[in-house]
Chains A and B, each alone.
Chain A
């Protein structure tokens, strides 16, 4: 006979908080099931026809009783609601110092990229004791990133970023699933999450992950390369020019649009600026930028893949005006190239 497992591993700070709430709700469920169940059985047997019992003074209605059994469950329910909502709100507020990792879902695999550029498929290596924030997007249909040992799950949607964060607590190997039905091999879209000691993680990362032979470029480096290859710098240099605004230091800043609305230049904003530039135009500029949205996920044709977009965003984030940040890479304009041309 197998050894039965009754609870999943508990390997994140949230998992511990989660299980308190889970078992409290379970206690309540079992208590009410047993009390009401036993009452029903007891009444049905005690008042069975032929039993000589007192049936006098039976009420058909009783307002106080009705109010009692409406209000007590309501108060208990609101208690659970408050507790659960408090925990949930916490899961939506990643700490500022969280380690950023990027995840792309596609039929039928998970693709993760660490900020130094190490990539892995259907695996995710994490340091223990460090808050981690995943920024995720899908290339095709809706998926859902689920790590039972962390009690954490978030749908991964095409067309926009979703995030989840957690702090792994215990080194080990844990299940990773896709929990939103996504087609033929849905049940095989998953693998493992490997939680390591922070030092081991750093070593693993420095050695280029599991199976990358050459030292990979960091995400910033990859983004910078794309920025050069696509000649983004022609319009987006270190100064605002007629063709386009500078991107230096804009990340997470408020920007005033042509229609005088104000938008925060976050990941979502930057992604939209690349894929659908006319959705919001900065005040003082015209509709001159081409869209870098690929024709399809198989045929990029001059567009940027979701992964490219993430790399470029990472690069734009690095463009700070503070002296410690890397200086914006703005190579001199190659002479003879007309500035309006967009090389593919």
Chain B
């Protein structure tokens, strides 16, 4: 894909979006999608730190069968905090609100998102939700688990359920705003010549994600509101004591919360498609299949929620149908993995930091996806449901998948965002440490889950056989922590001391690389007109260029 300027105008070096105003107000009142993306980048990083600290406390506590330093209630509040912060305040917004916000207008050749003020409002609503979350912590926290199962959450819990629900409710609206913006932008603001099938797969993935966000999030908002109504006014909705049905809550909750898993993983898959293609110097194999598999996942994802409820008391026949559809949704995921693999075949592979993250993603997502089979098949789920096996499985998908994709994307587009490059060796090291630390942390949890260790357990003193696995997992999590912290250091360092690089340091295709790095506030000085297909890489040509470069280096060094 390349942009042809409509007129042959001289190109003065434009002022980048970073230089356009240095006051606090110029950031907090900006309508620029790129600045809002940076605001989101800072905010989600802070919440990731908060959720990470909670994770560290959980892992420390589980070193010993009778805990280390927390009481039961505090432990329950810590794992609830970990879940709510990581899901609602990190994983759901991370890729769409940071990378999607920054890149979608650039990738479609637009000046900004369709509704810049709505975009800014989404960040403020997100921060309001986050502030409520902090107030909840200061008032003593909440102990329902992120799943808010009734009647525990509506009638029995003595913690800050109401405020937490309000926070999750608000955070939902923030993502709805982002979703609306993406759909409108992708539909209406594509540059001339940029047909649907010339869109990068990153954009396809975000389109599918936005559809899920808009259709699913209102359901969780209403459901949480109903929990609040039952809790405050004691109107029977979910609690049998008041005439309600607790299983109804689970249906409504998972109707959103299972698709929410795809809200988290689809954007990461979009990132991976871009990375694999750019660093293999090849168009993504089976572009149409990969694009439509995102839509298939979004559609089928709405029909599988009951696989969270095989042992909940829902009807056996319902279970059979939900199980069948869950197996069907595995197919589009498999299609993506096979196509990425085929993309690398006969490519010209550069193993830079983003590519290491992308390869790590494939490995972890493979395990995360395949272990999903155990949980979508009804018989195996009976034993594994609500054990550490499930914990390991969804961490492989959501942490192994989403965070690997997120970090890979951050490393790939960092020079686009800030015009400077981080030290690549440190980047590669961090990717390898994250991969190893992740497997050390979560692989033992599969075993301890199969042995029967239930999730959300503080103590396991009657089952000393669980301890070795918890020790391995905790050791692994400290390695993982180091892996996650390293990028913070060298990326911040690179903002000031990183090598200045050109507009397109990776030699990547894609409209976002046609403008300067960092881009000007208006993104493009001229309206880009797209005349080429997507991913115009040529592996053979890339290899010739590489050899030519090597020859030059040899000539110079003599």
Contact = CB atoms under 8 A, between A and B. Distances in A.
Interface of A: 2, 4-8, 17-18, 21-22, 25, 28-29, 32-33, 36-37, 39-41, 43-45, 47-50, 54-62, 65-66, 69-70, 73-74, 77-78, 80-81, 83-89, 91-92, 107, 140-142, 144, 146, 148-149, 151-155, 157-160, 162, 175, 177-188, 190-191, 296
Given A49-B546, A154-B313, 20 more contacts: A4-B468, A28-B370, A47-B539, A49-B543, A58-B346, A70-B334, A73-B330, A77-B328, A77-B330, A87-B378, A88-B379, A89-B320, A141-B152, A157-B247, A157-B313, A159-B246, A177-B454, A180-B386, A187-B460, A191-B462
A153 B76 contact: no
Contact of A184 (B73, B349, B546): B73
Contact of A179 (B280, B310, B379, B386): B386
Contact of B285 (A61, A70, A85): A61
18 contacts: A2-B465, A8-B450, A29-B370, A29-B373, A43-B344, A47-B539, A60-B286, A66-B286, A66-B335, A80-B377, A84-B323, A141-B149, A149-B452, A154-B311, A157-B240, A181-B76, A181-B152, A183-B76
Contacts, number: 278
A69 B334 contact: yes
B179 interface: no
B468 A2 contact: yes
Contact of A153 (B327, B351, B382, B456): B382
Contacts of B319: 88
B467 interface: yes
A49 B283 CA distance: 16
B532 interface: no
A179 B350 contact: no
B452 A81 contact: no
B345 A43 contact: yes
A17 B149 CA distance: 32
A143 to B, nearest CB: 10
B462 A152 contact: no
A155 B239 CA distance: 15
Given A39-B341, A49-B348, A155-B313, A186 B334 contact: no
Nearest to A26: B374
Given A40-B362, A61-B286, A152 B386 contact: no
B331 A77 contact: yes
Contact of B383 (A18, A69, A155): A18
Contact of B359 (A44, A154, A159, A177): A44
B330 A22 contact: no
A44 B452 contact: no
Contacts of A66: 286, 289, 335, 339
A294 B240 CA distance: 13
Contact of B327 (A32, A50, A78): A78
B370 A32 contact: yes
B451 A178 contact: no
B283 A183 contact: no
Interface in B137-181: 143-145, 147, 149, 151-152, 156-157
A79 B339 CA distance: 24
B342 A65 contact: yes
Given A49-B350, A80-B377, A151 B382 contact: yes
Contacts of A181: 76, 144-145, 147, 149, 152, 455-456
B387 interface: yes
Given A47-B348, A58-B539, A181-B456, A155 B312 contact: yes
B330 A47 contact: no
B457 interface: yes
Contact of A180 (B149, B239, B347, B376): B149
A180 B373 CA distance: 22
Contacts of B450: 7-8, 22
A163 B349 CA distance: 56
Contacts of A149: 452
Nearest to A56: B540
Contacts of B121: none
Contact of A43 (B316, B341, B377, B458): B341
> Residue among A7, A73, A191, A296 with the most chain B CB within 10 A?
A73
B124 interface: no
A70 B289 CA distance: 10
Contacts of B348: 47-49, 55
B385 interface: yes
A132 B331 CA distance: 39
B196 interface: no
A18 B377 CA distance: 11
B424 interface: no
B303 interface: no
B349 A44 contact: yes
B452 A177 contact: yes
Given A18-B380, A92-B316, A181-B152, A33 B370 contact: yes
B288 A186 contact: no
B287 interface: yes
Contacts of B463: 175
Contacts of A29: 367, 370-371, 373-374
Interface in B3-29: none
A88 B313 CA distance: 13
A152 B316 CA distance: 15
B72 A187 contact: yes
B285 A59 contact: yes
Contacts of A81: 323-324, 327, 376-377
B240 A153 contact: no
B542 to A, nearest CB: 7
B35 to A, nearest CB: 36
Contact of B349 (A5, A37, A48): A48
B362 A185 contact: no
A181 B351 CA distance: 44
A153 to B, nearest CB: 5
A158 B347 CA distance: 59
A144 B309 CA distance: 12
A77 B372 CA distance: 11
A77 B335 CA distance: 14
A279 to B, nearest CB: 10
B457 A187 contact: yes
A157 B447 contact: no
Q: Which 3 A-B pairs have the closest CB atoms?
A: A159-B240, A148-B452, A84-B377
A14 to B, nearest CB: 8
B493 interface: no
Contacts of A159: 240-241, 245-246
A162 B309 CA distance: 13
Contact of A142 (B152, B377, B467): B152
A55 B539 contact: yes
A78 B383 CA distance: 20
A157 B246 contact: yes
A178 B454 contact: yes
A29 B350 CA distance: 29
Contacts of A92: 316
A177 B462 CA distance: 10
B248 to A, nearest CB: 11
B76 A184 contact: yes
A5 B463 CA distance: 11
A158 B240 contact: yes
A25 B334 contact: no
B240 A160 contact: yes
B485 interface: no
A88 B454 contact: no
A49 B72 contact: no
B362 A36 contact: yes
B170 to A, nearest CB: 24
Contacts of A178: 454
A107 B73 CA distance: 14
Contact of B373 (A2, A58, A80): A80
A84 B458 contact: no
B383 A179 contact: no
Contacts of A86: 379
B457 A22 contact: no
